[in-house]
Structure 1
Amino acid sequence: MPQTTPPLDKATLGLVTLFLTSGATHLVRPQVFEGMVPHVLPRRRELVYVSGVAEIACALGLLHPRTRKVAGLASAALLVAVFPANLQMSASHAKRAQRKEDTASTAFFAGTVARLPLQWPLIRTALRAAGRL
């Protein structure tokens, strides 16, 4: 029995919007993301550009029924691949919050930590779009 393409639901549209916005920002303001790239990786600017293009490609793939399954899997893989960057961002802001000891730095650090578990619902949405959940 052939599998049907999962519908373009609100959650998937939200992921599309997130990827398009973030991907465009990666290309227009790469310096914002360079500090998130784990220090062990070389060529940070290029990696930011590549991840931005990947986000846009995944978003566009999720929109079309013919490419939604593959794009859903690619989106889940991309979200897993960038998770270390999110960890790096939290670690960097933890150091700043400790040094500055001001409310804004501490609040921003708390936001980066709160953001980490939000990656999992995004991965689930991508896998649902792929027809895997």
Structure 2
Amino acid sequence: MEPKRPSWGLVALSALFVLAGSLHFLRPEVFDGVVPPGTPMSARTATLLSGAAEILGGLGLLYPGTRPAARWGLLALLIAVFPANVFMAQQPEKFGLPAWALWTRLPLQPLLMWAVWRAGRR
């Protein structure tokens, strides 16, 4: 039996994570700046680890055999980076982005987690 091709939605979600993860390596200084103080590693290490996790998780969603592990990994990543999103929302002037946009994206995180949860099913 030939494996089922991933849906367009799954491919789009995968692409979102792979693109976001790639940006961590192409422009690490941008992501270093959003690592909140008190993070138990250097900002650069956090940037590179989260970028690698996004790429691996995004690619993992494409293959049925790795989809469940990718789901759990991406859910853990989304929980781990949430404090950085709150940090950004609390200091919008530091990041040159409108406060409304940074606060609006916080409730979108659970929606992204829901999408990952659904996509990660076998």
Residue 87 of structure 1 deviates from its aligned partner by 0.6
Name the counterpart of 2:11.
Answer: 13
Q: Deviations over 1:85-118 (max 9, x none)?
A: 111111121xx28xxxxxxx6x611111111111
Structure having the higher Rg: 1
User: Greater relative contact order: 1 or 2 (C-alpha under 8 angstroms, separation 6 or more)?
Assistant: 1
The separation in 2 between residues aligned to 1:123 and 1:8, in whole angstroms, is: 18
Q: Deviations over 1:3-51 (max 9, x none)?
A: xxx9733433222111111101001101111121111114101110110
Which runs of no fewer than 5 residues in structure 1 stay unpaired? 1-5, 98-104
Name the counterpart of 1:35.
Answer: 33
Name the counterpart of 2:101.
Answer: 111
Which runs of no fewer than 5 residues in structure 2 stay unpaired? none
- RMSD over aligned CA atoms reads 2.2
The two structures have a TM-score, normalised by structure 1, of 0.79
Residue 130 of structure 1 deviates from its aligned partner by 2.4
Matched-pair contact (CA < 8 Å) for 1:8–1:63 = yes
Letter in 2 for 1:73: W
% identity of equivalent residues: 38
The separation in 1 between residues aligned to 2:42 and 2:86, in whole angstroms, is: 19
The two structures have a TM-score, normalised by structure 2, of 0.86
Name the counterpart of 1:26.
Answer: 24
The separation in 1 between residues aligned to 2:81 and 2:6, in whole angstroms, is: 24
Tell me the SS of whatever aligns to 2:98.
helix
Q: 1:81 to 1:11 in 2, by over 3 A?
A: farther
